[in-house]
A and B are shown apart, each in its own frame.
Chain A
C-alpha cells in the first residue's frame, strides 16, 4: 500500500534551518510528483510547491521560493523540504503528498516545526 512517512517534530530557533523528510513506499517513486503543504496552528492548508522526482523540476509558491528548497533522492524514495532563515511565523505542520493527476491522493502524517527563541 502507498505510504508517505515523514520525519519527526523539530524545534528550531529563529534564523536556523531545518530539513523535513518524506519517505515513500508502495509505489514507483519517480512516477508521481510530490507536493508540500503547510498548516499553521488553527489555520488552513497552504500549498508550498511541487517537485518531480524523475526530473527534479520544481514549482514554488512565490511566498516561499526564496527560503524553501525541495529535493528528492530517488535511490531512497525520499523527498525533502529544507526551510532556511526560519521565523516564528513558520511554525506549522508540514505535509508531503503524492500527486496523481489532479489529485493529492496520499498524504504523509505531517511534521510539526516549531520556531521559538
Chain B
C-alpha cells in the first residue's frame, strides 16, 4: 500500500477547473506539510505548492493547495486550465522516517 495515493490520471478542458487528490494512508494528513511538484515531459520537477497551501513566487494564483482532515487528503486545484498545465503532478510529504512522493497524476488538458 502506498503512503500517498494519487489518481493515475485526470483530464479536463481548457478554461475549466481540476483538482488532484493525495490521500495519506496512515497518520493525519495535517501532521506533516504537503508539497506539490509539476513535471513537464523531459524536464525536472518544479514546486507549485509548498507547506500545504503556499505558492512560490512565479507560480500563478490559478494554483492552490488545501488539506482535508475528514478525508485525510491533500488537494491541488488548478483553475482556468491551459495547455501549459499539461504535466505530471506529484504530492510529497514526510512519513515519520523519510520523505515520500505520491505516485503522480498525469493531467491532460484537452
Contacts and interface: CB of A to CB of B under 8 A. Distances in A.
Given A45-B45, A95-B44, A104 B103 contact: no
A109 B44 contact: yes
A59 B37 CA distance: 22
Contact of A59 (B47, B50, B98): B98
Interface size class of B (residues with CB under 8 A): 20 to 34
Q: Is the interface of B mostly helix, strand, loop or mixed?
A: strand
B99 A45 contact: no
Contact of A50 (B44, B50, B99): B99
Given A45-B45, A61-B98, A110-B44, A102 B103 contact: no
Q: Is the interface of A mostly helix, strand, loop or mixed?
A: strand
A103 interface: yes
Nearest to B104: A44
Given A95-B45, A108-B44, A109-B44, A103 B101 contact: no
Interface string A49-90: 010000000010110000000000000000000000000000
Contacts of A102: 33, 35, 50-51, 94
10 closest pairs, A vs B, by CB?
Answer: A103-B50, A107-B44, A44-B104, A45-B101, A47-B99, A102-B33, A44-B103, A45-B90, A61-B98, A103-B47
Interface of B: 33, 35, 37, 39, 44-47, 50-51, 56, 88, 90, 92, 94, 98-104
Interface of A: 35, 37, 44-47, 50, 59, 61-62, 95, 97, 101-105, 107-110
